[in-house]
Amino acid sequence: MAPLILGVFQYFFPNGMSGQSWRHPDNRAVDYLDLDHWLRLARQFEDAKLDFLFLADSYGYPTIDGAIPDVALRDAMNLPGADPSIIVSALAAATTHLGFAVTAATAFEPPVANARRFSTLDHFTRGRIGWNVVTGSSQVAASALFGIPVTPHDERYDMADDYLDLSLKLWEGVWDDDAVRADKAAGVYVEPAGVHPIRHDGPYYRAEGIHMVEPSPQRTPVLFQAGSSGRGREFAARNAECVFLQGTTRAAIAAAVRDVRERAAGYGRDPGSIKFLVGMTVLTAPTRAQARAKADEMHAMSSPEGAAAVYAGNTGINLLALDQDRPLSQIQASGEQGQSNIDRFREAGAAGAPAPLVRDILEEIRRRGLRGGLIVGDPTEVADQIQSFVDETGVDGFLIEPHLTPGTYDDFIGLVLPVLRERGLARTEYAGATLRESLFGVGHAHLPADHPGAVHRAARQALADLAVPVGSRAMMTRSGASRGGAGSAAP
């Protein structure tokens, strides 16, 4: 088994997943607005040779019937929060190899502005940036904040496809690799023949002109994706290089891995080219009893009200308003907010067991948060569970989630990583200069040729080969055609 991909899950909020972990005296998550807090973490994760720091983000926050539940304010659930992308350059300056993945939702900010931000981050991280593409959780609150109606669930992904098409055209289709000469003696900073204006007439987005940022080390940030609904998986199969999966059972996660790989083949992509990661909270200690005590402590720091608030923020469903002794099927959940965390409880339990009752779902969210992954045990037990989890699901790695920051990571790095390394399941050195090379191998700094985004690179190269003078060149137009695989027609 190859070394696992090990990312670190962090929120840019004072409280982790759910519950009241922020109250713990050792939890420094409350220092989320302190740069030194993050510099310490980034250096710790790089020293441990972890792959990347993932910074979750959302413009939304929990609401129930349009109001923020008091428990969400008291216990800082997904609020207050700040913009995680702002801190990445500072962390990149303090590290050399650690990657950074940042969420940016496609439902709110214009694609051109988002494309510029990620190109800028790719420059300042020297190619160590990834974009977690989501349509955005807590849609009701976020849409209200932006003064726009909530776009239906699946249409949000249709928009996200067009959003990404335009982004890829800007990153891959405008600048030749050698367009920037910066030749002071010759008086040429940019070689005009090396810049190819684009026009995008998509079903949702229009653009005409050039991407302002000169080519960055990866051009396209590594494309992560989260959202495991059917439409979310289709989006992932077409666009994602790394997929964050959520599911309650190993069987459900294994099925999702197979499903996305099959769908990717339909886009002419190599199904094996996509990596799958699962969010996992690891509670460990030198002895099993001590590890169990940490789990009991975490569980004690949560409440049904808190769990209900977090669940409502993600799905739009108020579990406390439902019949606790009946399953979720008692309501017609619209799923307009988020479907992953509805689907996972609609599934019948393992081996045909009946679907969980609402009280069980509430308890599950209270105990394991939204992501659902929890491993408790001494270092050897944890390594065994990680190994069997990978064997059974086919995932390529994990996002290590916090109960306590930095405590949960201190334990994982100090106790579990050495065991994983002994088994060849954790890297001992970084490889490659960019995040994409770190995840996919040296020499793979750019989008693979079978990714839909590569069609723009090919089109630009075709134009460059034609050496068509700037003045006489029609705008490079293409829209909506990339529903097919990399082979779809260039302009």
Ligand X SMILES: Cc1cc2nc3c(=O)[nH]c(=O)nc-3n(C[C@H](O)[C@H](O)[C@H](O)COP(=O)(O)O)c2cc1C
What is the binding site for ligand X (CB under 6 A)? 56-58, 103, 105, 132, 134, 136-137, 153, 226-229, 232, 244, 246, 279, 314, 338-341, 371, 399
**Cα within 13 Å of Cα(227), Cβ side:** 34
179 versus 277: smaller Cβ distance to ligand X: 277
d(C-alpha 236, C-alpha 223), whole Å: 9
* Cβ at position 334, least distance to ligand X in Å: 11
* Cβ at position 76, least distance to ligand X in Å: 16
Q: Which helix (H) or strand (E) holds 55?
A: strand 52-56
Q: Which helix (H) or strand (E) holds 209?
A: strand 206-209
229 versus 302: smaller Cβ distance to ligand X: 229
104 versus 426: smaller Cβ distance to ligand X: 104
341 versus 405: smaller Cβ distance to ligand X: 341
* Cβ at position 59, least distance to ligand X in Å: 8
CB 55 within 8 A of CB 16: no
* Cβ at position 132, least distance to ligand X in Å: 6
105 versus 207: smaller Cβ distance to ligand X: 105
CB 355 within 8 A of CB 349: yes
* Cβ at position 272, least distance to ligand X in Å: 21
Q: Which helix (H) or strand (E) holds 172?
A: helix 153-173
Judged by DSSP in three states, 95 sits in coil
213 versus 252: smaller Cβ distance to ligand X: 252
Query: Quick one: angle between helices 153-173 and 111-124, nearest 10?
Result: 50
* Cβ at position 390, least distance to ligand X in Å: 16
DSSP 353-412: PPPPBHHHHHHHHHHHTTT--EEEE-HHHHHHHHHHHHHHH---EEEEEPSSTTHHHHHI
* Cβ at position 271, least distance to ligand X in Å: 20
* Cβ at position 444, least distance to ligand X in Å: 23
* Cβ at position 176, least distance to ligand X in Å: 34
Buried b (16+ CB within 10 A) or exposed e, 385-415: bbbebbeebebbbbbbbbbbbbbbbebbbeb
173 versus 232: smaller Cβ distance to ligand X: 232
338 versus 402: smaller Cβ distance to ligand X: 338
d(C-alpha 276, C-alpha 398), whole Å: 8
Judged by DSSP in three states, 223 sits in strand
**Residue (of 261, 233, 220, 264) closest to 160 by Cα position:** 233
**Residue (of 254, 196, 77, 125) closest to 469 by Cα position:** 196
d(C-alpha 104, C-alpha 84), whole Å: 10
141 versus 399: smaller Cβ distance to ligand X: 399
Encoding tokens for residue 137? 């959780």
